[in-house]
Amino acid sequence: MSAHLLVLPIVLPLLVAALQLLLGERRRRLMAALSVASCVALVLLAATLLVDVTGTSAGDSLAAVYRIGDWPARFGIVLVADRLSALMLLLTAVLALALLPCALDRWQQPGGPVQPMFQFLLMGLNGTFLTGDLFNLFVFFEVLLAATYGLALHRPGARRVSAGLHYIAVNLLASMLFLVGVSLIFGVTGTLNMAALARLIPTVPDNTRALLHAGAAILGTAFLVKAAMWPLGFWLPRTYAAATAPVAAMFAIMTKVGVYVLLRLGLLLFGSDAGPASAHFGDTWLLWGGMATVAVGVAGMLGARDLGKLAGYNVLISSGTLLGAIGLQQPAVTAGALAYLVISTLAIAAFFLLAGMLAPHDEAEAAPLLEPYDPAGEALYADEDENRATLPAPVALLGMCFLACALVLAGLPPLSGFLAKFALLAPMLETGAGRGAIALFTLVVVAGFCTVVAMCRTGIQIFWADEDWTFPAIRLGEAVSVLILLGSCLALSIWADTPLRYLAATAEQLHAPAHYIRAVFP
């Protein structure tokens, strides 16, 4: 049984989704039970895998390999789980489980097979994190994207369909780039297995190396579209703001998929072992592109006037920071980036849920807009004398959650956002990596400050200044989801030691691809 553990995170959601499709729309309670069972099982599976690949000693680098049909890795399809894959699997499963209460609450009215699509999305995500060759990466990416198309268009309205149209067109084009990149790499090396590619790249003859680099660059562009690097990320804030709250929250991990693949392929294929001509290919692009993304995200965040867009630009900032950190290619920075990846995904998901809770439930009604800054105006100070005697408990809860989200996103102490940012930023100064690292450091600190400004402004307007802001009734499911997400952020700030050590070992393993190659080709 344990030999087949590795394929279960892909097979289980697939079977559950198929079963749910067969059950049809009417047996709602059974469907919900299946969804919950599947997500709980995925969390357990991911945790088991994580323990399996951790090994006993700290420097021990284990990677579990599953050969589908037991074909040798040269001919067949392999699934590989190393520390990074296990981490991403666990993050996906926890996020999905945390979002289920809210999703089940919101999806009670009939509106298409939305629960099966959620399971297909999980299947695609898990497959992407586990696959060991480029073509199956493409297949799982398409599974994942097809599911997101359906989810993004759940309960269509004119705004949602228009945003979905752009999202699908951009992603179809990105998939074409993906295929061109994959086929160029196949044409040069004759293999698509990632470990085999990592072995072959140092020995590629010089006359075809340019073609290989072109293929890798085109492939990278496809992932940068998913990771929303400037100028490829204009589709993101609009699509995310238009999607329903639980869907947008699940999409928080979608940009991280692009980041994951860039991290994996960048370090495996173009790490320090890739020979003088190919080592660190594309790093500078990632670094400066990531910084441009952060800058655009900050500008958008300061200008955003509805909560959905505000959250969308926060996604851009987080993704840009990660891309820049990957571009530095240093183990300590990578470890910090992984911590930041986990924390920011959880916090942004919580923020999307909060944005959904603060907007009116009736989606035909337009969400209230934030006021533009107006120093001379009296809007903010009009009724200073009026003391509100009581604060209703739901509003207090919303306010506390908003505050926690803001602290984590901005990276202020005492919550885990600060720990993650510290783990990310401190090594940049220590190693003396030069201008790039200093520039990224400055930019991330400034972005944190601007996040504080934007979140303060939003919070003051919603909770203190605006008398007319109507708070819709809180649904139990939504509150539970937000509390689970923020609670896990809190838990990570209390018990930070073990996770951080795990992440440091993960980064070391990523920077030594020989382990990965040896696991696939023993």
Residues of span 58-97 touching other proteins by CB under 8 A = none
SS3 506: helix
| Residues binding other proteins: number (CB under 8 A) | 29
Query: In this chain, which of 94, 102, 145, 253 binds other proteins, going by CB under 8 A?
Result: 145
Cα–Cα distance between 351 and 334 in angstroms, integer? 25
Question: 323, 227 in Cβ contact below 8 A?
Answer: yes
Give the integer Cα–Cα distance in Å for 342 and 91.
7
Type of residue numbered 473 = A
Q: Which stretch binds other proteins (CB under 8 A): 133-141, 228-236, 364-372, 387-395?
A: 133-141
Q: How far is the CB of 338 from other proteins (least distance, A)?
A: 31
Give the three-state DSSP class for 65. strand
- Using alpha carbons, select from 40, 152, 144, 49 the residue that is nearest to residue 96: 40
> Is the sign of the CA dihedral 274, 218, 87, 322 positive or negative?
positive
Q: Answer yes or no whether residue 146 interacts with other proteins by CB under 8 A.
A: yes
CB of 324 to other proteins, least distance (A): 30
Closest approach of other proteins to the CB of residue 90, in Å: 28
Question: Least distance in Å: CB of 219 to other proteins?
Answer: 13
Q: Applying CB under 8 A, does 142 fall inside the site for other proteins?
A: yes
Which of 144, 500 has the CB closer to other proteins? Answer: 144
- The residue (of 23 and 139) whose beta carbon lies closer to other proteins is 139
Shortest Å distance, C-beta 236 to other proteins: 17
CB of 22 to other proteins, least distance (A): 20
Taking the complex as a whole, the smallest distance from the CB of residue 376 to other proteins amounts, in Å, to: 34
What's the rounded Cα separation, in Å, for the pair 256 and 262?
10
Residues forming a β-bridge with 133: 193
Question: Is the CB of 67 or the CB of 457 nearer to other proteins?
Answer: 67
Residues in 416-435 that interact with other proteins by CB under 8 A:
none
How far apart are the C-alpha atoms of 258 and 68, rounded to whole Å?
25
Per CB under 8 A, 403 contacts other proteins: no
| Position among 7, 21, 139, 490 found at the interface with other proteins (CB under 8 A) | 139
- Answer for the pair 46, 89: CB distance below 8 angstroms, yes or no: yes
Q: Is 117 helix (H, G, I), strand (E, B) or coil?
A: helix
For residues 145 and 485, which CB has a smaller minimum distance to other proteins in the complex? 145
C-alpha to C-alpha distances, 305 to 14, 49, 241, nearest whole angstrom: 39, 43, 11
Give the nearest distance from C-beta 156 to other proteins in angstroms: 6
The token pair that represents 143 in the structure block = 């599974």
Which stretch, 58-66, 143-151, 401-409, 504-512, contacts other proteins (CB under 8 A)? 143-151
Applying CB under 8 A, does 153 fall inside the site for other proteins? yes
Closest distance to other proteins from the beta carbon of 239 (Å): 12
Find the length of the chain: 522
Q: Output 169 or 210, the one with its CB closest to other proteins.
A: 169
Which CB sits closer to other proteins, 165 or 299?
Answer: 165
Give the span between the Cα atoms of 210 and 141, in whole angstroms: 26
186 scored as a contact of other proteins (CB under 8 A): yes
At closest approach, how far in Å is the CB of 186 from other proteins? 6
Tokens encoding 400? 């506390």
User: Nearest 5°: CA angle at 234, between 230 and 239?
Assistant: 135
Residues with Cβ within 8 Å of 90's Cβ and at least 6 positions away in sequence, in order, are 43, 46, 47, 49, 50
What residues between 154 and 183 interact with other proteins by CB under 8 A?
156-158, 161-162, 164-166, 168-169, 172-173, 175-176, 179-180, 182-183
Residue (of 478, 517, 492, 520) closest to 99 by Cα position: 478
**Based on CB atoms, which residue is closest to other proteins, 162 or 431?**
162
How many whole angstroms separate alpha carbon 446 and alpha carbon 320? 13
- Spatial separation of the C-alpha atoms in residues 334 and 336, rounded to whole Å: 5
Which residues are at the interface with other proteins (CB under 8 A)? 135, 138-139, 142, 145-146, 149, 153, 156-158, 161-162, 164-166, 168-169, 172-173, 175-176, 179-180, 182-184, 186-187
